[in-house]
Amino acid sequence: MIKRFLILFTAALILIQFIHPKENRSVSISPNDITNKFQVSPQVLSLLKNSCYDCHSNNTNYPWYNYVQPIAWWLQYHVNEGKSELNFSEFGGYSAKKQYHKLKSIVESQRDNWMPLGIYRWLHRDAALSDSQKLLISGWADSLAQKIKVENNISIEEGHKMIY
């Protein structure tokens, strides 16, 4: 019985190696990319690309273990979830209120250290941000949020609502 189970389990494990999710890779920069709509300094953009873009853009750099199932499904789930929360490749297409909210969430994520995710920082040691890098990102995000708030007459109450 145990031998039969191990044989079936091994066969299933081998078979699923041939089933891969569609990779999150675009061939060009989206017209709604944040860099096409807003000023992003080279330093901030470098940090975002290194620590955020794999899950929060339309272009993921996949590690070697993405070719092992069921890890690839797990990674794709996180990429899809990350993009549904914030997608820098589509940021320019968000409403001003949503842009404001997402930027304030970036500030909060750096202040409270919940982004990048701990497992991502563990797997990608170079994605861990120093305190000064977190301040650089949150300063940029807060400044841009305030600019969007003023330009679009977003009230304090509207700015704190969850806008999607």
Q: What is the pLDDT of residues 75-112, one digit of tens each?
A: 999 999 999 999 999 999 999 999 999 999 999 999 99
The angle that helices 42-51 and 131-151 make with each other, rounded to 10 degrees, is: 110
Whether 54 and 18 have beta carbons less than 8 Å apart is answered as: no
User: Residue 94 has which token pair?
Assistant: 């968000």
Q: What pTM was computed for the model?
A: 0.84
Q: Give me the residue label for tokens 């994520």.
A: 109
Residue 25 makes CB contacts below 8 A (sequence gap 6+) with: 58, 59, 60
Indicate the pLDDT class of residue 121, thresholds 50, 70 and 90: very high
